[in-house]
């Protein structure tokens, strides 16, 4: 199943690999349009105002392609979402502290090879 960017389960940003793939695809499409404009500039006869439009597009599209390819998704700030809100659960109350604090004491002693304790 192909994952769409709008079908996000969490509020995490897109994976870097997916983001890079999208930027490269956008760059290739834009540069493909540039090549078509460059060819149309010479192939469409008679020359006229559209020749200038194709020429300007062929000159400007590389800049647009590079700027949009280098613009990452870092500028998009994601908001934190509560998992309880997503599943519709009632909020839980934090556990209460015990009335008397528990104290755990550990005593260490060395055990000899014969199984008897030796005290320093």
Given a contact cutoff of 8 angstroms between Cβ atoms, the answer to whether 55 and 45 are in contact is no
Domain annotation covers residue 6: no
Total count of domains within the chain: 1
Domain annotation covers residue 21: yes
Domain annotation covers residue 55: yes
pLDDT band at 38 (very low <50, low <70, confident <90, very high): very high
Domain annotation covers residue 48: yes
Q: Is the pTM of this model over 0.75?
A: no
Domain annotation covers residue 9: no
- For the ranges 59-63, 64-68, 83-87, 93-97, the maximum mean pLDDT occurs at 59-63
Given a contact cutoff of 8 angstroms between Cβ atoms, the answer to whether 118 and 112 are in contact is yes
Q: Is the pLDDT of residue 31 over 90?
A: yes
Q: Is the pLDDT of residue 1 over 50?
A: no
Sign of the four-CA dihedral 69, 59, 35, 40: positive
């Amino acid at each position: 199943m192909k994952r769409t960017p709008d079908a996000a389960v969490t509020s995490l940003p897109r994976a870097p690999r997916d983001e890079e793939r999208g930027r490269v695809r956008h760059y290739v499409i834009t540069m493909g349009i540039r090549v078509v404009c460059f060819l149309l500039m010479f192939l469409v006869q008679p020359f006229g105002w559209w020749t200038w439009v194709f020429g300007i597009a062929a000159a400007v599209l590389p800049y647009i392609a590079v700027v949009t390819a280098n613009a990452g998704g870092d500028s998009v700030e994601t908001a934190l979402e509560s998992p309880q809100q997503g599943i519709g659960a009632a909020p839980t109350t934090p556990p209460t502290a015990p009335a008397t604090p528990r104290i755990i004491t550990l005593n260490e002693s060395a055990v000899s090879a014969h199984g008897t304790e030796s005290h320093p």
